[in-house]
Amino acid sequence: MIKVTLPDGSIREVEKGTKVIDVAKSISDGLARVIVGAMVNGKKAGIEDAILEDCTIQLLKFEDEEGQDIFRHTSSHILAQAVQRLFPGTILAIGPAIDNGFYYDFDSTHVFTEGDLEKIEAEMKKIVKESLPVERFELPRDEAMRYMEERGEKYKVELIRDLPEDVIISFYKQGEFVDLCAGPHLDSTKKVKAFKLLSLAGAYWRGNENNKMLQRIYGTSFEKNSQLEAYLHRLEEAKKRDHRRLGRELDLFSMHEEGPGFPFFHPKGMIVRNILENLWREEHIKKGYGEIKTPIILNEALWHRSGHYQNYKENMYFTQIDEEDYAVKPMNCPGAMLVYKSNMYSYRDLPLRMGEMGLVHRHEMSGALHGLMRVRSFTQDDAHLFMTLDQLKDEIKGVVRFTDEMYRIFGFKYHVELSTRPEKSIGTEQEWEMATEALRIALEEMNVTFIVNEGDGAFYGPKIDFHLEDAIGRTWQCGTCQLDFQMPQRFELTYVGSDGEKHTPVILHRTIFGSIERFLGILIEHYAGAFPTWLAPVQVIILPISEKFNAYAGDIKEELEKQGFRVQMDLRSEKIGYKIREAQLAKIPFMFVVGEKEVENQTVSVRLRGKGDMGSLKLEEVSQMIEEKINSRENDSPGIEG
């Protein structure tokens, strides 16, 4: 007999070889009907997998992240089976589950079109109705290679060839379809009832642009049609909110072939950007930060010293100056270390908080570039906090509170993750444990709910990550608080303690926006381009009904600008209905229509974005209304209503 420990701590004794599904049945038949797999000793398992040793077990439903992975991995196999049925001779590459869906890469003489997706979906539905059992089998490496060679699956042969000689290779079979796969999977195709193929793309085999370009089909799947419909609705809403399209339409920024991944900000985009940066500066002054600015290009030796070269060189740009090697900075940290090192400090000077709006450059693959969300040059709202070990907990808490305050300004909800040591890292196990525990304790003492994200820390230390939730429920990783024992040692940073001896400070690396560019992209999508009045590039547009009212419109504009509002006039010889529609498309918060009646009464006819006509008001009344919205930073965007 072996012992199986459930999440509630209870222990069940079962015979060795008992299947996951039988453990579920021993709890309840209802549970057994809904589970899609399990986590056994922290590893995913299928419901037909046998339990061979004492273990902890978590039974997975579709709503569990790991459960969705299993469900969607099986969905990708159903997709591949349908493609091979419809287009014989198609060679399989890889087909994993991904966030919110799955994909499969194919090598086919047939060029897939959008029209093919419906045919493939129809064939997938047939496979689901056939209720094919999904069965695992294993072969020794050499036999597995021959088996795939006989089936003409050259990409699978290559994958097997790269594995150790003594490894046992696993496959999954459903009907006539067989795929090389580690699994796990659902036990039958019949469970995948709600799915949709979404798009086509090209993808190089193994992500290497020197390899053949394959055809990728993306899809998603859910347990219920209602879940699928809700997701597809969210996708449609996301398309409407796409910051790349809105960036063009609202004249905020542009991207050009002459600088792929390097955004160009237009005057209206710079207004929003400057407001964000000014807000950042104001709030940091209140919190006791000093602002610094460090060079973009620094000697390559510095990056060896910091550890960036060894851990990050593939993402860096290099140049030569006076026959010496230099690097364009991918991060601001080493520059901040040099600023600290330029002075002597005592324990009385700490904590020392330095903030920097630092422009950094990172080499991203061209296929990964995405508007403002993934770029090659961006401005990090960095801060480096230097402190004694005794001050560490309070400073972590201060960063968490500060981040919370900033996100509340924009109406964001968020969740917190604690990211631990990655594979590529520097420092001792003891230092990593001490750093991770410090972050954990600070979060627990603040009663902050968090999840642990194993292996996703920075190479020099663990971190707290803040994931924003936007108006349509998507999450974005933005702020981070990273604890670092390594860089102070590498740069030989010191302070004089109360004992008169030199000691090494501890550092917190911290961002709140993450990067100005990405945060702006998130805001555009969060607000659907309809920025709150305090952030809007144009807060008021004045629309004269005809040319004879242009002078009155000009007087209003002058008065509003004296009060500090951002104002525009539409003096085109167009009908007023057309002007109003154009102003609505530009998502301007306030529209002032002026004509004969308004001139006579010395008023403006006010239209409020998202609410329509508010009637005629005195300029002082509406000015006060706008000022209150700005001063309170009211989130009056109709876009956040989803």
Q: Which of 634, 576, 588 is nearest to 251 (CA)?
A: 588
> How many angstroms separate the Cα of 621 from the Cα of each of 87, 329, 605?
69, 50, 12
Bridge-partner residues for 104, per DSSP? 217
Q: SS3 for 516-540, per residue?
A: HHHHHHHHHHHCCCCCCCCCCCCCE
Q: Which of 372, 485, 396, 489 is nearest to 435 (CA)?
A: 485
Q: Which of 581, 590, 597 is nearest to 623 (CA)?
A: 590
List residues with catalytic annotation.
333, 362, 380, 382, 384, 463, 509
Helix axes 516-526, 267-286, angle to 10 degrees: 110
What is the torsional sign of CA 35, 37, 40, 44? negative
Q: Which of 392, 396, 507 is nearest to 448 (CA)?
A: 396
Rounded to 5°, the CA angle 181-183-184 comes to 160
Structure tokens at 627: 């000022």
Cis peptide, bond prior to residue 184, ω within 30 of zero: yes
> How many angstroms separate the Cα of 553 from the Cα of each of 332, 344, 556, 627?
48, 60, 5, 20
**DSSP state for residue 198 in the 8-state scheme:** E
Length of the chain counted residue by residue: 642
Q: Which of 607, 563, 562 is nearest to 587 (CA)?
A: 607
DSSP reduced 3-state for 219: strand
Element (H, E) at 37: strand 37-40
Please compute, for residue 74, the number of CA atoms within 13 A of its CA located in the half-sphere on the CB side: 33
- Going by C-beta distance under 8 Å and a sequence separation of 6 or more, which residues neighbour residue 244? 255, 370, 371, 372
Question: Do residues 562 and 613 lie in contact, with contact meaning Cβ atoms separated by under 8 Å?
Answer: no
DSSP reduced 3-state for 271: helix
Q: Please report, as a single letter, which amino acid is at residue 148.
A: M
Structure tokens at 212: 């053949």
Q: Rg (Cα) of the chain, in Å, rounded? A: 29
> How many angstroms separate the Cα of 408 from the Cα of each of 405, 463, 639?
5, 21, 16
Question: Do residues 141 and 156 lie in contact, with contact meaning Cβ atoms separated by under 8 Å?
Answer: no
Determine how β-strand 97-98 pairs with β-strand 135-140: unpaired
> How many angstroms separate the Cα of 312 from the Cα of each of 138, 317, 359?
38, 11, 17
